Amino acid sequence: MAFSYLTLDEALRIHEILITAFGGARGVRDLGLIEAALLRPQTGYYTDLIEEAAALWESLAMNHGFVDGNKRVAYACLELFLQLNGTDIAADNVEIETFIYRHLEAGTFRKDVLEEWLRQNTEPLTS
């Protein structure tokens, strides 16, 4: 199955929307790191949508391509990527935030951990 992927323009627009809504510094620190994160799921290395989504989430969050808002952009791009491909996050906002902060603070915000969580907390998108 061929998946739909986010473009650089979409990621930059998501960043702008989130910074406007929630505050923070505007701007790109390293465009190449953002592009690399967006391309990572497209390498053909990953077995399925969830593994690709985990790779995207980790890379956008940890590459720090934006001046500010990297984790917010990473989650928003993750959610959009999943929805573009017929999948949705089943967890509520509190569960999502708790998971993210717990693993960021513990230094365990890694693809394997993210993939396991996504497998337990996603479902087919309903119309």
pLDDT tens digit string along 68-126?
999 999 999 999 999 999 999 999 999 999 999 999 999 999 999 999 999 999 999 98
Question: What is the Cα–Cα distance from 55 to 75, expressed in whole angstroms?
Answer: 12
1 falls within a domain: no
35 falls within a domain: yes
Q: What is the pTM of this model?
A: 0.96
Give start and end residues of each alpha helix (H) in 23-48: 31-39
Q: Which whole-number Å values give the CA distances from 116 to 30, 66, 121, in the listed order?
A: 29, 26, 9
- For residue 16 the two structure tokens come to 């702008």
CATH number at residue 41: 1.20.120.1870
Residue 104 lies in domain: 8-124
- Domain total in the chain: 1
42 falls within a domain: yes
78 falls within a domain: yes
3 falls within a domain: no
Question: What is the Cα–Cα distance from 65 to 52, expressed in whole angstroms?
Answer: 19
116 falls within a domain: yes
Question: What is the Cα–Cα distance from 91 to 89, expressed in whole angstroms?
Answer: 6
